[in-house]
Structure 1
């Protein structure tokens, strides 16, 4: 393991020695100023690490059945499988679509043939997928408690990205088993959540996906 030497520094007449782990100086006001400065740096660093500049969002629900109706007419329906709400952030790219597609189809929400829980995904179980676009996943409440959707991708670009994601999921699995609603329409979504089981996925294109987790056998 790499060893680091101690450090000493001075700021505004106040010294810091890592070996002593104290802030040295004769002026108490200076010590308090440096402490506030260091605390501010720490908070800024934590907020930078924990904030997400932009991420595609999926809400996966394991269902026994699900359907979408528009103006009283059933547009699509599935039996057992996954119903996924799809939210696009204004900064999403092709990499976000690819990440979420792989995670959606790799999510192990079912037991295997031996009864071991969380071992199989839709591919192994030969189940169906229903995708529903939902820009409100990136909604926030204003001071007046009114929804604000400024983080959501704008409609024209979002429709193109969503259509691309729908095609991507179909080609990665089976187009006959992937259904969706109508982008931008007022939809009545009905489902029977099996469990209930609900998983939220935020895209992270930089993260390497373990190929072993995506193997079709899902055995362990």
Structure 2
């Protein structure tokens, strides 16, 4: 079984000019089912879809995955070009330019450090309550070593693959959330619109596990 997992800001499926599914932030997953696949391979793919940490620490279902966390009340930075002057005493009232110049440069360097709150590859789709769009795609099983015409003999026959595909959907819904799992139309000609976030695309093959 093969799965192409894409982190998206949105994705939708249209059949016969009618939109049948749409998701916001989450994952769009293309699924290819091979002749030797069983529920064992299906369970592995389901687990990976829900567990892979493809989102940053700042991500949530309603915020941009690429947004950075900035300090709410940043401390003003004093200019290194015009350092603040201080006075040693009030009698001679002579400015001392040596007391603050070095500290200003250090303060500026500290202020310019990026926030450590934002970390990539921290959250799974479950962690952010994201949506998942599953689309069947037998062409993922194509063999292209010989000639230029794709060979689809490694793809499971339609009736058998449909049963396993539906079992995969059932497992995702029961393990995660029925309301957050959307699907395309099995066996139909579909227009799949994907807004890939990153882009981030992960390819899984159960033969490689």
Partner of 2:189: 186
Within 2, Cα distance between the matches of 1:173 and 1:106? Answer: 11
Is 1:164 the counterpart of 2:167 in the alignment? yes
Q: Normalised by the size of structure 2, how large is the TM-score?
A: 0.70
- Aligned position for 2:204: 201
**Offset of residue 141 of structure 1:** 2.6
Aligned residue-pair number: 151
Where 1:100 maps in the other structure, the secondary structure is: helix
Q: List runs of 5+ in structure 1 lacking aligned partners.
A: 1-55, 208-220
TM-score (ref. length: structure 1) = 0.66
Cross-structure match for 2:110: none
Unaligned runs of 5+ residues in structure 2 are: 59-116
Change over 3 Å in CA distance of 1:160–1:61 after alignment to 2: same
- The list of structure 1 runs, each at least 4 consecutive aligned residues, that deviate by more than 4 angstroms after superposition, is none
Coordinate RMSD, CA, aligned? 1.4
**Corresponding residue number in structure 2 for 1:91:** 36
Asked if residue 60 in structure 1 is aligned to residue 63 in structure 2, the reply is: no
User: Partners of 1:96 and 1:68 in 2: how far apart?
Assistant: 25
Assess if the C-alpha contact under 8 Å between 1:86 and 1:132 holds in 2.
Answer: yes
Could you say which residue in structure 2 is the equivalent of 1:102? 47
Task: Kindly provide the CA deviation profile for residues 158-177 of structure 1, in whole angstroms up to 9, marking residues without a partner as x.
Answer: 00000000110111100100
Equivalent residues of 1:99, 1:204 under 8 A apart: no
Q: How far did 1:140 drift?
A: 1.6
Q: What is the Cα deviation at residue 142 of structure 1?
A: 6.2
**Higher gyration radius (CA):** 2
The aligned residue for residue 177 of structure 1 is: 180
Alignment of 1:32-71 (within 5 A): 56-71=1-16
CA deviations 1:169-202 (Å, max 9, x no partner) are: 1111001000000000000000110000000011
Select the structure with the greater relative contact order (CA < 8 A; seq sep ≥ 6): 2
Give the deviation of 1:63 after TM superposition. Answer: 0.3
CA distance in 1, matches of 2:33, 2:161: 7
